[in-house]
Homo-oligomer: A and B are copies of this chain.
């Protein structure tokens, strides 16, 4: 099996990422991808027989990139407080530098409900292990018996949504690009603080 990747093939994949990420499957044009890669349109088909195949390659790369890092942080040896701070800090930074990625993935998941489990396994993602990991840590370190799923989704929501909703936020609050950048920067400390204060609230309740 061929192992080395030719420069052309690589350029095509990079170009495809750029175009698919911004325009989605239906909006992307094979011609535009070819132009972006600086090759002939036929060459794109030579390497990736069809638009579908090319899209799959792009989607899988994006999914792995996001989930791999997420996985890494959540299964690390950090204590829960540091873990949340690390997670939020990393995601807000990473996502605002790649602001097209999360929406691309969400759209992709709606279009392709199949074959995703394959990717989950490839990225060594196990729902049960993740849940258990959070539950144990919340129990041991914070002494709380609360559903880890809601906590996990809350953390994700607070980190990801503001990036996805960038244009909406600009419209609702009438922000300039500079002011928006500052807003994201603030969130790196605001969000962990918000989460930890909430968790502290549960603690007070249960120990009362």
Residues of A within 8 A of B (CB): 23-27, 103, 105-107, 109-110, 113, 116-117, 120, 125, 127-128, 130-131, 147, 149-150, 153-154, 156-158, 160-162, 164-165, 167-169, 171-174, 183, 186-187, 190-191, 194-202
Contact = CB atoms under 8 A, between A and B. Distances in A.
A149 B168 contact: no
Contact of A27 (B26, B164, B196): B26
Nearest to A151: B194
A interface: dominant SS: helix
Contacts of A125: 172
Contacts of A147: 186, 190
Given A190-B150, A198-B197, A198-B201, A173 B109 contact: no
A171 B106 contact: no
Given A160-B161, A168-B106, A154 B117 contact: no
